[in-house]
Amino acid sequence: MQIKHNIQLQLYNSFRTKAVAKLFCEPHNVSELIDVLGKFPDEKRLILGKGCNLFFTKDFDGLIIKPTMKGVFTLFETDDFVEIEAGAAEDWDDFVAYCVSNDYAGIENLSFIPSSVGAAPIQNIGAYGAEVKDVIAFVRAVDITTGVLMDFSNAACEFGYRDSIFKKRQNYIITSVVFRLQKSFVYQEKYIDLNRELENITNPTLSQVRDAVIRVRTRKLPDYIALPNAGSFFKNPILTEEEKRKLLQKLPDAPIYNAENGMFKTSAAYLIDKAGYKGKRKGNVGTYEHHALIIVNYGTENGIEIQNFMCEIQEKILCEFGIELETEVWVY
């Protein structure tokens, strides 16, 4: 496997910011991956998928590892379900399309999310009432410290809202993911926009659900190729009872949902909108006019401009509503 030097990363991140990586490699299999980890034990490392959830503010003084393990294999099958292993470098939406065309149910609501299969468990990708954790049987990953390939059961992945053990520890490189998908399907109403899109269809099929998701997403979200962005920039804040009470004093119509462990979730997009930042533009950066949660790049190649705008929004929300907005996007 070739180790490349001084690689420009602009086309490797969906915000299209410029930065140079000192070292860059693309292991094709687990043994190449373990080999490269052993060769550069002291280099700072960054694992890269499609780069749709990160951007760069400076050059990367270390080794970028972009796994290129491909392949989709059926491991196990019964009358009710199928277990399929997909390589980390498989395109997520191609994989969803493959499953839908074979009538394997469980990930159709996650259609059209720009991702590699390997990155999907990192933040437990979710959309339209579905999360990838609900269909993951286990995850195969190499421990960066020991160089050992391990299987993580669903429970061992410690999935949460946009969270997992891989995100918390940042010490594993996912090489493949094994999904358990169902062979029967009945559409369940989980999300209002999607229900509306399907209201004239009785018992929608998997393909009809996938098509509806793609239509809704295309209407609502900017195409990152035309208008560089990384999807939702901030996580929806999780509030204690006391924080919820204080927020409702300031904003009585704030949306509040029940979250895990007796906590509450509110909408980051709503808060940004209320702070006057929906569609706001500063220089070459702004929030998308149709979706306050998405920061878009109107023409800068400098990630610091995006980072400054991000900090401005965080300060404004903290100052006005006493809530800290946590980023969903990784800033390097």
Ligand X SMILES: Cc1cc2nc3c(=O)[nH]c(=O)nc-3n(C[C@H](O)[C@H](O)[C@H](O)COP(=O)(O)OP(=O)(O)OC[C@H]3O[C@@H](n4cnc5c(N)ncnc54)[C@H](O)[C@@H]3O)c2cc1C
What are the residue numbers of the active site?
162, 232, 328
Counting contacts by CB under 6 A, is residue 178 touching ligand X? no
Distance CA 288, CA 143 (A): 38
Residue 329, amino acid: V
Contacts of 105 (CB under 8 A, 6+ apart): 99, 181, 182, 183, 184, 185, 206
**Measured from the CB atom, is 173 or 271 closer to ligand X?**
173
The least CB distance from residue 139 to ligand X, in Å, is 9
Counting contacts by CB under 6 A, is residue 237 touching ligand X? no
- Decide if 32 contacts 1 (C-beta within 8 A): yes
Half-sphere exposure of 16 (CA within 13 A, CB side): 15
Element (H, E) at 257: strand 257-258
What values do phi and psi take at 237, rounded to 5? Answer: -65, 140
Counting contacts by CB under 6 A, is residue 27 touching ligand X? no
Half-sphere exposure of 280 (CA within 13 A, CB side): 15
Counting contacts by CB under 6 A, is residue 191 touching ligand X? no
Kindly tell me which residue out of 9, 37, 53, 325 binds ligand X, with binding defined by CB under 6 A. Answer: 53
User: What is the pattern of x (binds ligand X, CB under 6 A) and - over residues 142-171?
Assistant: ------------------------x-----
**Measured from the CB atom, is 82 or 221 closer to ligand X?**
221
Residue where the block lists tokens 């991956």: 33
**Measured from the CB atom, is 276 or 299 closer to ligand X?**
299
Counting contacts by CB under 6 A, is residue 120 touching ligand X? yes
Counting contacts by CB under 6 A, is residue 84 touching ligand X? no
Counting contacts by CB under 6 A, is residue 64 touching ligand X? no
Counting contacts by CB under 6 A, is residue 88 touching ligand X? yes
Number of residues lying near ligand X (CB under 6 A): 33
- In whole angstroms, how far apart are CA 232 and each of 42, 81, 122? 33, 32, 15
- In whole angstroms, how far apart are CA 76 and each of 106, 179, 181, 223? 16, 10, 11, 37
Counting contacts by CB under 6 A, is residue 230 touching ligand X? yes
Counting contacts by CB under 6 A, is residue 111 touching ligand X? no
Q: What angle do CA 269, 272, 278 make, to 5 degrees?
A: 90
What values do phi and psi take at 92, rounded to 5? Answer: -60, -50
- Decide if 162 contacts 148 (C-beta within 8 A): no
Counting contacts by CB under 6 A, is residue 115 touching ligand X? yes
Kindly tell me which residue out of 68, 123, 287, 297 binds ligand X, with binding defined by CB under 6 A. Answer: 123
Supply the DSSP string of 92-142, one letter for each residue.
HHHHHHHHHHTT-BSSGGGTT---BTTTTTTTT-EETTEEGGGGEEEEEEE
Kindly tell me which residue out of 27, 67, 160, 237 binds ligand X, with binding defined by CB under 6 A. Answer: 67
Counting contacts by CB under 6 A, is residue 86 touching ligand X? no
Counting contacts by CB under 6 A, is residue 229 touching ligand X? yes
Counting contacts by CB under 6 A, is residue 114 touching ligand X? yes
Kindly tell me which residue out of 160, 231, 286, 303 binds ligand X, with binding defined by CB under 6 A. Answer: 231
Kindly tell me which residue out of 87, 118, 204, 286 binds ligand X, with binding defined by CB under 6 A. Answer: 118
Counting contacts by CB under 6 A, is residue 126 touching ligand X? yes
**Measured from the CB atom, is 49 or 204 closer to ligand X?**
49
The least CB distance from residue 141 to ligand X, in Å, is 7
- Decide if 123 contacts 328 (C-beta within 8 A): yes
Residues lying near ligand X in the complex (CB under 6 A) are found at 14, 46-54, 67, 88, 113-116, 118-120, 122-123, 125-127, 166, 173-174, 221, 224, 229-231, 330
